[in-house]
Amino acid sequence: MRLVPADSVDFDALVEVFNEAYSDYLVPLQLDRAALEFTIGVCDIDLAASRVALEDDTPVAFALLAIRGDEGWIGGMGTVPAHRRRGHGEAALAAVLAEARARGVASVRLEVIEQNEPARRLYAKLGFEHVRHLGVWILDSAPPWVTKAEPTAFDGALAWIEANRRAQEPWQRADETVAHMRARGLELEALAVERDGARVGALVYRPASGAAGVIQLAARDGPAAAHLLTALAALVDGLRFVNVPDGDPAATGLALLRARTQIRQHELRVFL
């Protein structure tokens, strides 16, 4: 086995090893070339800093590293099923952390599904520690009550969220990610809700033919978040909200609406 920078591997081969590694995951994930290119671009994944493990010149494991300033994030890692338990994934991730340290990155984050005990043991071995719990929520349809949330200007909503969010956004929904989405021409829209003449919540989302994807949401409390989520679910065929921190008003609002948690994750961090 040898490790090489991910940018030295044919991109179609990278797509193939990515999909094969996630083929039997607790929540199977399959991306085509365009989707992986999009994810790499909007999440600032650095293929030169990422690593792929090769056996006989065939990619069998990978670890993808995103970098923003002195922060890093693992944008995916895995090993194809037939080559597991040989240390390839661990070697790729350890090499990525060494590369991050060499580039002046102070800490690296990642998310891992709660039930994925083997991965959690590996991350603990490499020094990752728990930061917070995150939930992936599904709201299938709008509940039968009237919402006070209405469409609003996107930039104003984004500015309100930035000023009023309770905690750091997960990497996939961070301000930098949103900026990259807009730069690529992705359609994004916004909702806001007021109470007693003052704004108490805002939400930005990505419209879709099926369930919409919530990008960011900030609210004064759970009921304000519920109004925003109800309005969005009423506009489209339900919604999906990825990596909502426990205790956030958005999580309270989702619970009020009887949304379901698809998966729970641990956000972990290692300081380099």
How sure is the predictor about 53, in pLDDT bands with cuts at 50, 70 and 90?
A: very high
Closest by CA position to 181, among listed 66, 41, 32, 71: 41
pLDDT tens, position by position, 24-48: 888 778 999 999 999 999 999 999 9
pLDDT confidence of residue 26: 81
Instruction: State the pLDDT confidence band at 155, using cuts at 50, 70 and 90.
Output: very high
Backbone angles phi, psi at 10, to 5 degrees: -55, 135
Per-residue pLDDT at 143 exceeds 70: no
pTM of the complete model beyond 0.75? yes
Do 2-105 and 136-266 come out as alike in CATH topology?
Answer: yes
2-105: CATH number: 3.40.630.30
Domain boundaries, the chain: 2-105, 136-266
Give tens-digit pLDDT for 212-270: 899 999 999 999 999 999 999 888 878 999 999 999 999 999 999 999 999 999 999 99
Q: Is 80 helix (H, G, I), strand (E, B) or coil?
A: coil
| Cβ atoms < 10 Å from Cβ of 82 | 9
CATH superfamily placement of domain 136-266:
Gcn5-related N-acetyltransferase (GNAT) (3.40.630.30)
Answer whether residue 210 shows pLDDT above 90.
no
Percent with pLDDT over 70 in the chain: 98
